[in-house]
Structure 1
């Protein structure tokens, strides 16, 4: 009888602990050009649990890659970041976002041209909106130039097709070649300076 009570108490405490942990799990959505290239910088961060490539900000339901990449759906290629707010803050994620985009390019990002490759922050709450706007002002002050990156309310997120997920891990040589050919790192260094090793 006593063992049953102790076991029940243990299970209750474990479920309370899990409920508390899950309340700290949040999601953020960022558009920064090619979604393959936006997964990696977030995946490296302690506290980021998962990144998912997808589409957001458009008017077509359940868009396909072909529809989005050809333009006209209003969607951007995005990465959805699932994170533990006890380990990494939204402000930290914003800092990672900014240092992985060209905030002065309104026509796409790097070699990927068109509105579907725009840089954009999709906020999910008033607090996130304020933090995003403050971070944008900070970037403008730091770089001394007007930032064209947009900040808009979060829209429906549609996960991209399976072959796009974790592309940099599953196809490392193709990914590195694409990133190099696109001039992404060269331009990021021009804007932000050399990244620390």
Structure 2
């Protein structure tokens, strides 16, 4: 990794829906869908879906920190998720869809914790913020058919968004709070 390259790992439900919001930003070099947090090396989509691995679906973001900061990525992350739902995101249910910020070092942990505390204190949500902040574990890229899914399967991707994610984002992150 060069000095103009860093990584971030976020889990926020179905990894298909977590790629486009990051990939389209300046400074993002690559967004990889994959699995992390579990105990089985090189898991398959089927294994993760059957809850046999302890992994959660996540995205690994390779970015240029001189263009976009980790702090900015964390702020983008919050706005793609329901941080009050510990057991999945929207129509995707189960521990393999839980929201997690996986941190690779103390600096990322501090940024994530400050951001989470700020969100908790904002009053934006009535329920507690339950997204966890955990040490990064090995990240395993998902099978090729899952990479850049929104581009390869735009119709199915739109159906996935229609499962409550898009409406939640508009209502909680894009509309001014009353």
Question: TM bucket by the smaller chain?
Answer: over 0.9
Q: SS where residue 34 of structure 2 aligns? A: strand
Please say which structure displays the higher CA radius of gyration.
1
Structure 1 partner of 2:25: 45
Deviations 1:72-97 (A, max 9, x none): 31111000000000000000000000
Describe how 1:45-124 pairs up with structure 2 within 5 A.
Answer: 45-124=25-104
Deviations 1:152-189 (A, max 9, x none): 00000000000000110111111112211x11111223
The match for 2:164 among 152, 164, 183 is 183
Stretches of structure 2 that go unaligned for 5 or more consecutive residues are none
Deviations 1:24-71 (A, max 9, x none): 200100000000100000011100010000000001111100010111
TM-score normalized by structure 2?
A: 0.94
* In structure 2, C-alpha distance between the alignment counterparts of 1:97 and 1:58, rounded to whole Å: 21
* In structure 2, C-alpha distance between the alignment counterparts of 1:144 and 1:171, rounded to whole Å: 33
Following TM superposition, by how much is the alpha carbon of 1:144 offset from its aligned partner in structure 2, in angstroms? 4.9
Stretches of structure 1 that go unaligned for 5 or more consecutive residues are 1-18
CA distance 1:144–1:102, shift in 2 (3 Å)? closer
4+ residue runs of structure 1 moved beyond 6 angstroms? none
- Over the residues paired in the alignment, what is the CA RMSD in angstroms? 1.4
* In structure 1, C-alpha distance between the alignment counterparts of 2:175 and 2:20, rounded to whole Å: 18
Q: SS where residue 163 of structure 1 aligns? A: helix
Q: SS where residue 102 of structure 2 aligns? A: strand
